[in-house]
Structure 1
Amino acid sequence: MTDTPARPDRDPELRITHISETPWHEVKAQSHSGRRTSVWEKFLEWTPERMVIYARYDAGVIVERHGHMSEHYVFVIAGEVLIGDRPCPAGTHITLEQGAVFGPLIAGPEGATLYEIMAGDPRAFPADREGFQALLAERDITPLPNPPVPWPDWLEARTDGNPGADNTTKA
């Protein structure tokens, strides 16, 4: 039996990252009756093969119903997030197969901390833009432009835009 590397263009690597070594990036922002709430992410790994994120959702932040262009796995570490009508407290695991959709995601009163893995292209696609706009209006929430993130050159522009946002913004 021969050992075959995971990628034929290079030898397999061992990478170890601690969340304290990785900065937070604000990736989505909203105004909740004048109070800024956000989704924050630490990119633990971001390669063409996978994206690994340690995420923090501020209390009450809402992420629209959406899917991803890859398999997406989520583990709720702390707090709670409502996914559609399903409460997902700490300890909940979510598998989103490529092309499947979920949401809206609504962070609980203490917010939520998530560990996420995407196997391939991590870009999101909206699944119910009209319903999301209605939910935001009902709760007096205004989406703010996507903050700049350290978007890799090899990945195409963001697909998860919001009204008035520049979806190609890179840090």
Structure 2
Amino acid sequence: MNPRFDSRTAPAVPAGLTELLPHQGSFELQNDQPGKVHNWHHHSLDEELFILRGSALLFWDAAGAYQERDCPAGTWITLPAGTVHGSLAGPEGAVYMIRPRDGRTAETTFLADGEHPHPTPVARESAA
């Protein structure tokens, strides 16, 4: 098999987006629909997250204690490698950047249901 090549007009990349890139390497741009849960897991590398649009509830285990924080657009999150955590997209969803240390690819390990350190939060009904 051979690669296929097509010519297309490249879209403009906003300066604000290129500023999120690491010195070398890549980042992931994530789009979560409202109520999307990334259940309890941890990463092999430090990671930074930046909420670009919407919001997310970040939850984590801190030495056996459950912690959580609502993170609206504009929130920069630094997660040390090995932090057992998860997230829940807000009622309008969440678009965010995930940047592993040095732009490398982190290994993600999801915990089996019986290994969750705390119950997983669920989406709250919005007030009508």
Q: TM-score, normalised by structure 2?
A: 0.59
Residue of 21, 30, 39 corresponding to 1:64: 39
> Where in structure 2 are there 5+ consecutive unaligned residues?
1-11, 15-20, 60-67, 124-128
Higher-RCO chain (CA-CA 8 Å, sequence separation at least 6): 2
8 Å Cα contact 2:51-2:76 kept in structure 1: yes
8 Å Cα contact 2:39-2:120 kept in structure 1: no
Three-state SS of the structure 2 residue aligned to 1:81 is: strand
Q: Which runs of 4+ in 1 moved over 2 A?
A: 126-132
Pairing 1:74–2:49 present: yes
> Post-superposition shift, 1:74?
0.1
Residue of 94, 98, 119 corresponding to 1:116: 98
> Post-superposition shift, 1:60?
0.4
> Post-superposition shift, 1:109?
0.7
Q: In 2, distance between residues paired with 1:71 and 1:51? A: 14
**Aligned pairs, how many?**
92
Three-state SS of the structure 2 residue aligned to 1:100 is: coil
> Where in structure 1 are there 5+ consecutive unaligned residues?
1-16, 20-44, 140-171
Report the equivalent of 1:18. 13
Letter in 2 for 1:72: E
Residue of 68, 75, 96 corresponding to 1:92: 75
Aligned identity (percent) is: 26
